[in-house]
């Protein structure tokens, strides 16, 4: 019985050693996996931040382009408004000249008829 008890103790010791080695291997695998996940999460966070910064930069560039285009259109609008105003003034002057010419012609005709 003591021989079988000794054998059992030896087997139990071997089993404990095997389980201990298995636990160490599992702990090592868990740590490696955890490190890998941590590295991937860090990489993802950096990529996300880089993408966010790129989007902000592009937004600001487009905002500047839009502002410049808007300012250019405002200047063109003002130039056109001034051109329309000038044309309206010139039209009014032209109408006045035509009216004066008509009145002068009427007077001349009237005077010619009266003489």
pLDDT digits (tens, 9 = 90+) for 28-87: 999 999 999 999 999 999 999 999 999 999 999 999 999 999 999 999 999 999 999 999
Number of compact structural domains in the chain: 1
Residue 111: predicted pLDDT: 85
Q: What is the pTM of this model?
A: 0.51
pLDDT higher than threshold 60 for residue 6: yes
Has residue 65 been placed in a domain? yes
Give the pLDDT mean for 100-109.
Answer: 91
| Residues spanned by the domain of 5 | 1-82
Has residue 112 been placed in a domain? no
Give the pLDDT mean for 93-104.
Answer: 92
Has residue 30 been placed in a domain? yes
> What is the SS3 assignment for 26-91?
HHHHHHHHHHHHHHHHHHHHHHHHHHHHHHHHHHHHHHHHHHHHHHHHHHHHHHHHHHHHHHHHHH
Distance of alpha carbon 63 from alpha carbon 35, whole angstroms: 42
Has residue 47 been placed in a domain? yes
Has residue 115 been placed in a domain? no
Reduced to 3 states (helix: H, G, I; strand: E, B; else coil), residue 110 is helix
pLDDT higher than threshold 70 for residue 20: yes
pLDDT higher than threshold 90 for residue 1: no
């Amino acid at each position: 019985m003591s021989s079988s008890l000794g054998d059992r103790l030896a087997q139990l010791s071997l089993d404990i050693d095997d389980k201990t080695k298995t636990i160490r291997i599992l702990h090592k695998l868990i740590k490696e996996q955890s490190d890998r996940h941590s590295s991937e999460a860090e990489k993802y966070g950096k990529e996300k931040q880089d993408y966010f910064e790129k989007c902000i930069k592009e937004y600001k560039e487009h905002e500047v382009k839009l502002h410049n285009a808007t300012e250019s259109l405002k200047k063109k609008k003002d130039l056109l408004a001034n051109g329309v105003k000038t044309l309206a003034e010139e039209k009014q002057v032209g109408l006045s000249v035509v009216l004066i010419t008509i009145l002068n012609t009427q007077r001349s005709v009237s005077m010619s008829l009266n003489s």
